C-alpha cells in the first residue's frame, strides 16, 4: 500500500522521528540538495538518467520508458535489498513526485506493505522551505554571542548545546566557519542544503525559552542568511566575549589545524594579502610558509582581523554586555550565569 502525503504531513512525520526519507533521484541531483536525513537510493545513476533524457528528447516518451524499464529490471534484486535494509517508516520522493518515486514505492510496497510517497517531490518541498523562511517570524528572544576572531564562540555554543541549551549553530548548517579561512578542511553547503537544515532547526527550537546564536555576517561561506535573522541580530543586545590573545591563537590552531591544510591556508591568505600593510603581510606569509602557524595567526589577528572586527562591531558594543574571561570555560560559565539571571535557562 502506498500513502501519498503532502509536504506538511511529511514535515510532521520527520518531526515525529523513526522516518527514513528516500531520495530516488540520481546522485548528481542528490548532491545539489535534498531533505535533511535523506538516503540516496537512485533508481538511475547519473549516466543512466542522462541516457534516458537523450532518448526522451529524440525518440519520445515510449522509447524512454522502455529503456528505463530495461535498466530497472536488470538491477531490481539489489535495488529492493537496499531499500529493505533501511529502517523506519519509508517516504519516497523524486523531483516532482512522478514516475521514479511511484515506481520505487510500488516495488517496495509489494514486499513490505505500507510505504509513503511525497506529493510534488523535492520541488514541492523546496517551495515549502523557501516560503517558510520568507514568512518566518521569530516569536522568542535570541541571545547573540559576539567577540573577536578566535574567542571560541562556536566551541562555547556547541558545548552549551551538549548541555541542553537551545543553540542555532549557523556555522554547522553552512559547513563553514564564516571567515576567509572558514572553508579550510571543510566542504561548505550550498544554499538549498543550508535552507533545508535551517528551517528544520527553527522548527525544533520554536518552543524554546530563547535561541542562542553567533553574531554571523550576512554571508557564511556559500550561503546567505535570511533577512529576519540578520534583522533580529542587529536589534538584539549582544554578549561580547573578551579573551586573551594567546587563548584566541590556540583556539584557532586547534580548530583549523593549519599543519594539515597548509596549502589551503596559504591560498586563503592570498585573497586578503593586499588588504594588509606590506611589511606585516610579508611577515604573515613568511610565518605561514615556514610552518610558524602560531606567529602567523597572531599577526593576522593584530593586523587584519581585530581592526576589521572593531570596525564591524562598533555599532553593537554600546548595547552589548562584555564578558571578560581568562579561558573559554570561564566564558561559558559566565554566559550560563547571564542566562540564569535573565530567566533564559536550558
Is residue 94 annotated as a catalytic residue, yes or no? yes
Q: Cα angle at 310 between 305 and 312, to 5 degrees?
A: 95
Q: Which of 7, 94, 284, 325 is catalytic?
A: 94
- Is the confidence at residue 141, as pLDDT, over 70? yes
- Is the confidence at residue 98, as pLDDT, over 90? no
- Is the confidence at residue 269, as pLDDT, over 60? yes
| Residue 97, CA distances (Å) to 24, 180, 196 in order | 10, 39, 18
Domains defined along the chain, listed by start: 2-132 (3.40.250.10), 136-341 (3.40.50)
> What is the rounded end-to-end Cα distance, in angstroms, of the chain?
43
Share of the chain above pLDDT 90, in %: 75
| Residue 310, CA distances (Å) to 24, 130, 225, 303, 314 in order | 49, 34, 22, 12, 6
Please state the rounded mean pLDDT for residues 262-269: 93
- Is the confidence at residue 295, as pLDDT, over 90? yes
Kindly give, in sequence order, each residue whose CB lies less than 8 Å from that of residue 47, ignoring residues fewer than 6 positions away: none
Please state the rounded mean pLDDT for residues 296-305: 94
Name the band, by pLDDT with cuts 50, 70 and 90, for residue 217.
confident
Query: What burial class does residue 176 get, using C-beta atoms within 10 Å of its C-beta: 0-12 exposed, 13-18 middle, 19+ buried?
Result: buried
- Is the confidence at residue 177, as pLDDT, over 90? no
pLDDT tens figures, 48-97:
899 988 998 899 888 888 898 888 888 889 999 999 999 999 999 999 98
- Is the confidence at residue 316, as pLDDT, over 70? no
User: Does residue 79 contact residue 107 with C-beta atoms inside 8 Å?
Assistant: yes
pLDDT greater at residue 83 or residue 308 = 83
- Is the confidence at residue 324, as pLDDT, over 90? yes
Q: Is the dihedral of CA 241, 172, 229, 212 positive or negative?
A: negative
Quote the mean pLDDT of the chain. Answer: 92
Name the band, by pLDDT with cuts 50, 70 and 90, for residue 314.
low
pLDDT of residue 345: 62
Q: Give the pairing of strands 19-23 and 39-40.
A: parallel
pLDDT of residue 178: 81
Amino acid at each position: 500500500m502506498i500513502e501519498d502525503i503532502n509536504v506538511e504531513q511529511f514535515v510532521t512525520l520527520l518531526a515525529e522521528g523513526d522516518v527514513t526519507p528516500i531520495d530516488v533521484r540520481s546522485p548528481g541531483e542528490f548532491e545539489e540538495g535534498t531533505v535533511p536525513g535523506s538516503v540516496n537510493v537512485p533508481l538511475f545513476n547519473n549516466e543512466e538518467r542522462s541516457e534516458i533524457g537523450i532518448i526522451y528528447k529524440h525518440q519520445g516518451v515510449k522509447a524512454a520508458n522502455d529503456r528505463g524499464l530495461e535498466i530497472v529490471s536488470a538491477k531490481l534484486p539489489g535495488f529492493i535489498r537496499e531499500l529493505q535494509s533501511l529502517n523506519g517508516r519509508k517516504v519516497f520522493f523524486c523531483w516532482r513526485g512522478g514516475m521514479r518515486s511511484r515506481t520505487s514505492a510500488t516495488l517496495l510496497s509489494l514486499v513490505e506493505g505500507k510505504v509513503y510517497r511525497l506529493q510534488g517531490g523535492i520541488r514541492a518541498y523546496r517551495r515549502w522551505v523557501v516560503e517558510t523562511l520568507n514568512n518566518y517570524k521569530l516569536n522568542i528572544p535570541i541571545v547573540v554571542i559576539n567577540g573577536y576572531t578566535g574567542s571560541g564562540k562556536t566551541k562555547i555554543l556547541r558545548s552549551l548545546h551538549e548541555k541542553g541549551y537551545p543553540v542555532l549553530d549557523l556555522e554547522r548548517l553552512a559547513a563553514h566557519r564564516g571567515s576567509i579561512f572558514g572553508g579550510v578542511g571543510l566542504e561548505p553547503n550550498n544554499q538549498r542544503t543550508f535552507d533545508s537544515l535551517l528551517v528544520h532547526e527553527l522548527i525544533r527550537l520554536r518552543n524554546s525559552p530563547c535561541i542562542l546564536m553567533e553574531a554571523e555576517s550576512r554571508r557564511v561561506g556559500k550561503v546567505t542568511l535570511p533577512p529576519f535573522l540578520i534583522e533580529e541580530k542587529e536589534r538584539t543586545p549582544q554578549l561580547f566575549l573578551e579573551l586573551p590573545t594567546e587563548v584566541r591563537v590556540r583556539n584557532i590552531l586547534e580548530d583549523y589545524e593549519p599543519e594539515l591544510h597548509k596549502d589551503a591556508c596559504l591560498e586563503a591568505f592570498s585573497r586578503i594579502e593586499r588588504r594588509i600593510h606590506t611589511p606585516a603581510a610579508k611577515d604573515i606569509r613568511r610565518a605561514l610558509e615556514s610552518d610558524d602557524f602560531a606567529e602567523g595567526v597572531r599577526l593576522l589577528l593584530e593586523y587584519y582581523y581585530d581592526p576589521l572586527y572593531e570596525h564591524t562591531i562598533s555599532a553593537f558594543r554600546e548595547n552589548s554586555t562584555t564578558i571578560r574571561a581568562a579561558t573559554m570555560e570561564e566564558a561559558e560559565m559566565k554566559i550560563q550565569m547571564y542566562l540564569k539571571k535573565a530567566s533564559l535557562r536550558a
